[in-house]
Structure 1
Amino acid sequence: MLELGPGRLVTRAPAYAALGCGPVWFADVEDDAPGDPAAYARVADLARAAGLPAPSIAAARTREEALAACGARLLLGGTEVLAAIPDGSVDLVISDVVLEHVRRDALAGLLSELRRISSPEALGTHAVDFHDHVGGALNTLRFPPWFWDGGLGARSGLYVNRLGLSAIEAAFSAAGFATRPVEVRRWPAPPPGAAAAHPAIRRRAEDDLVAFARLEATPL
């Protein structure tokens, strides 16, 4: 399995191993994972307390040794790091509020790599927040693309790619996936910012009502 953008939740590796997942890959652009192997040992203890056969991490001296004990590996960098994963070897892909942070010009490449590594029966489950991550509206739509995608906006840590649900689904389709929304949360009316979107931001009107969606993606 592969989890995209796990942040500190790389510590879930012992739980994934206890559930029979393996090998497990984590891929992130920044290294936010705890370095102390004790953090992973605690999760293993919790899994065993729940009756799951978690691996022993007691002998691990480093994070890498703790992950290795779980059959897991952390890949750090952009889409290029997925080259370490063999073709057709992943049965489960997870991302939790990650895809909205992928730069617009990088999303197609990421999804193409996910298609390459997905087995014929693979399942992807992706939770996507479509609202501003500060304020919860759509005020980021006001900014021109030259600023938001290529300037301070892209480097701010608050970056969202401003793609709507239909655009995300279209990107998956172009990469060779079928998608199915399993949960969609909508605003009752367009939130602040939607009516003031920059003219270069072309979105379907129905996308301005979608605040959150959880998608399943399967290879075509």
Structure 2
Amino acid sequence: MADTIGKWAPGSSYGPILSQTDLYLLGVELELNPILSNSSETFQLIFNMSTGQTGGYNHESRDRDIPFTAKDEPATMPRVEELIIITEHSPWCTIVKNSQGVTLGDVTTTLFRDYTEKTVTEKEFESLPPRLQEQVRRHASQQNAAGWQQYYSPAPVAPSQFRRVDWLRERLFFDKLIHREGYAKGRLGFSAPNVYVLSLTAY
């Protein structure tokens, strides 16, 4: 795989690993791994936020699945100890940490855990319009039923039992990470080179 050659090759013997403070003081611009920016010529990542399943394909051979062997590649260059990920599709902020430098595997694993192991609070759920509340409730019911009687409406589930991934509804697949300074400032009150916006797609 061409993207693993050279600077994106896994390992700890090259380049600095920058802390959040380093990024502010040095004003370094980060280069995002082509797999995360969806610009790789050899590998298109397929990552399901609900199941955690990862894989991919080559643009020239879309009918053949390729394993996600690039998990240990650095997410950015220079490498960083921390990535901050936000998305227009949810109100939460995911912080990916690795003192040895954040990898592609760190990104997918942390996003999966953040959205499947954490629940939506009652206050967060009530902030949604009624129509979207119903969509989240329906999606959660379908996921729990695993396809069985998915068109029947069960008794309402307490909001505290909704996982964050249910909030995403059908947009469960990773598309790419984008650096959007204006959006980051609007959401977080600040922008930094390691703040990225997550774009998601439907089935």
TM-score (normalizing by structure 2): 0.24
**Larger helix share, 1 or 2:** 1
TM-score (normalizing by structure 1): 0.23
Tell me: higher relative CO, structure 1 or 2? Use CA pairs within 8 A at least 6 residues apart.
2
